[in-house]
Amino acid sequence: MDIPDLETAREVLAAQPFSVLLDARLTAFGAGEAVLELDIRDELRQQNGFLHGGVLGYAADNALTFAAGTAAGAKIITSGFTIDYLRPADGRTLRAHARVLRAGRTRVVCRCDLSTLDARGASTLCAVAQGSVTVL
């Protein structure tokens, strides 16, 4: 099994048109963890001015799968995930920090904390997700 490095993982992210549209970036990758970030822009907000839940779902899905890739390699796909929204997401940056909970031969289970960062860099937890990834 080939475990990609940070640069290779960034190339995988850059090959995803939707990730490019959102201007997502992988800021950490390795040792059972991955961190995905994106800037919170007005066009990503919902009618009340908060970051749209679909953007949070995207970030959780990708971060969970990238974290799983640190344990299982690149030939993986999301099996499913659940997300709980804890508070409205607002700030400058969305950070999705995912960790492997258990890596098996055919399935990897991960958890993701989604936080927003304000202009000072203060972090506010806004959602949590857990998911499983299938090894192809």
The CATH number of whichever domain residue 43 belongs to comes to 3.10.129.10
User: Which pLDDT band, with edges at 50, 70 and 90, does 3 fall under?
Assistant: confident
Q: Collapsing DSSP states into helix, strand and coil, what is residue 88?
A: coil
Instruction: Look up the pTM and report it.
Output: 0.96
Query: Looking at the domain assignment, is residue 62 inside a domain?
Result: yes
Query: Looking at the domain assignment, is residue 1 inside a domain?
Result: no
Domain count, the chain: 1
Query: Looking at the domain assignment, is residue 125 inside a domain?
Result: yes
State how far the Cα of 72 lies from the Cα of 54, in Å rounded to an integer: 26
Query: Looking at the domain assignment, is residue 63 inside a domain?
Result: yes
Where are the alpha helices (H) located in 26-136, listed in sequence order? Answer: 53-72
**pLDDT tens digits, one per residue of 88-118:** 999 999 999 999 999 999 999 999 999 999 9
